[in-house]
Amino acid sequence: METLMSILVGILFAIGVYLILTKTLLRIILGTSILGHGVNLLIITMGGLKKGGPPLLGIKNLTYADSLPQALLLTAIVINFATTALFLVLSYRAYKVLGTDDTEQLRGIKNE
């Protein structure tokens, strides 16, 4: 299972990096979002994908799932969500003011 997850993480990273390297701003934002999902899966894989009960008192299991990576993941998802939202709003504003979403044309824009 871990191997499969690693391959999936690799694919997501590849797609994310490819999208970030394109010129359109919207595709770049989608790329960061996909990269973020890859990172989240990496965290959960690195904690170990054990089959076990939830780590609660009163549940009699031989093995327990590690709850820490899931806590990290929740925080990481929230932060990823916030930065993506901010980035989308900013890119919309930049498109309105600068009149382009091509990063090639965004270079060298100075104050008028």
Partner 1 sequence: MNNLIILPIIIPIIVGMIMVIFRKNIKLQRFLSVLSTIAISISTLLLITQIHTKGIQTLHLGGWEAPFGVSMVADMFSAILILVTSIVSLCCLLFAFHSIGKEREANYFYPLFLFLITGVNGSFITGDIFNLFVCFEVMLVSSYVLISLGGTRNQLSESIKYILINIISSFLFLVAIAFLYAMTGTLNFAHLSIRVAEVGQEGLMTTVAILFLIVFSLKAGLFLFFWLPGSYSAPPTAISAIFAALLTKVGIYAIIRVFTLVFYHEPEVTHLFIGILAAVTMLLGAIGAVAFWDIKRILTYNVIVGVGFILAGVASYTTEGMTGSLFYLIHDMVVKALIFLLGGTIIHLTGTSKLKEISGLIRLHPGLGWMFFIAALSLSGIPPLSGFLGKIFITEGTFERGYLWLGGVGLFTSLLVLYSIMKIFMNVFWGYTDLTEENEKGTTKGLMLPIGILTIITIALGLGAEGIHDYVDIAVEGLMNPSLYIEAVLGGNLGH
Q: Within the chain, where are the H helices?
A: 2-20, 25-46, 68-98, 103-106
Q: Is 8 near partner 1 (CB under 8 A)?
A: no
What's the rounded Cα separation, in Å, for the pair 41 and 62? 25
Distance (Å, whole) CA 98 – CA 90: 12
By C-beta, is 32 or 65 nearer to partner 1?
A: 32
Kindly list the residues in this chain that would bind partner 1 in the complex (CB under 8 A).
20, 25, 28, 32, 35-36, 39, 42-43, 45-48, 68-69, 72, 75-76, 79, 82-83, 86-87, 90-91, 93-94, 97-98, 103, 106-107, 109-112
